[in-house]
Amino acid sequence: MARTGTVPTVNPRPSGSVLAADPLARVAALPGVREAADSARAAVDALLRHRILRRQSAAVTTEASLRAARASAALEGHEISLEGLRGYLSGAGTDARPTPASEGLLAPDPAAPNPAAPDAAAPDAAARTFPPAVGVPADLRSTDSLDLSSTDLPSPVVLGTVRLYAELGVLGPAWERAPRQALARMHVLVGRGYLPDDLLGRPRADAGTRELLDPLRLGPPPHSVETSVRLDGLTGLLVTPTTAPAVVVAAVVHGELLALRPFGALDGVIARAASRLVLISRGLDPKALTATDVGHLEVDHIDDPGAPVLGYRDAAAAYVGGGAQGVATWVLHCAKALELAARESLAVCEALARDT
């Protein structure tokens, strides 16, 4: 984590001895980061206190997973409306075609561990009235004139992202034990049906097309040898104790994977999913109730000159550019995205409460 620069002195927490031994704590000590992390945590804590979660936390997790998957695919350049995706997954308008539900896209194996323990039977999704998705143009929020049999079908990347996000609860134990192997499994899940089988879960070669490697236009990734070394360093940090808040750890994982692009395709989806896994496994969002990817989209629409936060692509570019300021810019973006995502999930909770 050399790109974080020298340890700043403006924030006295944590102590200097801890900072020297804990690179992630150095990131947390960058100007403004601790305050942003505290604000994000407060928003998540407010969500976790909502009364509806005592009975319907599984329904909120399912909705958050769907919204997050759609938003992550959109950030990768594969758009579909939320309701269009919801309709497709429920089998609407698909005639005799196999539906994603029959292919295991809607949920992981029910016998496997899941972040949301279904503590009560959830009402049928079709009977719910959820708030519209943020970060989506108004004309894409409705399926009134949608022809699901033709132009608004989800791409393989959208379906792969849904499949991956549905499996995050199952991946949790592997992520905590062996993060690098978990990343390979994640790439297999998201890339199946889109990438050739011999590329699934395999480190990228140095040769490749820019379009495939760089959907965010961040510039060429590091050489594969450097990527492997830095990835080992990142996964080593993940199994080392740290005093840094979970949102900071998640942001660093996210930013490093965007910078390294270890697989050469769909690395943005992997980076965002890994960030969610950090929030789940470190107890900040244990039931995966926040659609953090939606927050990344929503930050682009913030109009608050008093508290400027860069949008997703610009903040990622700042991180990749290096230096303490670039890292801080990225972490501030991620903290704001989590805060906004928690507020959206609160709106989902309120919608469920009205329906009960």
Q: In the chain, where are the structural domains located?
A: 24-116+127-143+151-355
d(CA 177, CA 179): 6
Rg of the chain, C-alpha, whole Å: 20
Q: What is the full per-residue pLDDT of the chain (356 aa) written as tens digits?
A: 444 433 332 233 333 444 458 999 999 999 999 999 999 999 999 999 999 999 999 999 999 999 999 999 999 999 999 999 999 998 844 332 333 333 344 443 333 444 443 333 333 443 455 455 544 333 333 333 333 333 468 999 999 999 999 999 899 999 999 999 999 999 999 999 999 999 999 999 876 544 556 889 999 999 999 999 999 999 999 999 999 999 999 999 999 999 999 999 999 999 999 999 999 999 999 999 999 999 999 998 876 666 679 999 999 999 999 899 999 999 999 999 999 999 999 999 999 998 87
d(CA 4, CA 126): 47
d(CA 304, CA 306): 5
Residue 320: in which H helix or E strand, if any?
Answer: helix 312-321
Position 9 scores a pLDDT of: 29
Helix (H, G, I), strand (E, B) or coil at 31: coil
Q: At what angle do helices 292-299 and 323-355 cross, to 10 degrees?
A: 120
CATH code linked to domain 24-116+127-143+151-355: 1.10.3290.10
Structure tokens given for 278: 């950090």
pTM for the model? 0.80
Position 207 scores a pLDDT of: 61
For residue 286, whether the previous peptide bond is cis, meaning omega lies within 30 degrees of 0, is no
Q: Are 334 and 276 in contact (CB under 8 A)?
A: no
Q: Exposed (0-12), middle (13-18) or buried (19+): which is 12, by Cβ within 10 Å?
A: exposed
Residue whose token pair is 């507020």: 343
Q: What is the pLDDT of residues 236-246, one digit of tens each?
A: 999 999 999 99
Residues 6+ away with beta carbon under 8 Å from 47: 289, 290, 342, 343, 345, 346, 349
Q: Are 289 and 341 in contact (CB under 8 A)?
A: no
Q: Are 235 and 184 in contact (CB under 8 A)?
A: no
Residue 56 identity: Q
Structure tokens given for 284: 């900040």
Q: Exposed (0-12), middle (13-18) or buried (19+): which is 98, by Cβ within 10 Å?
A: exposed
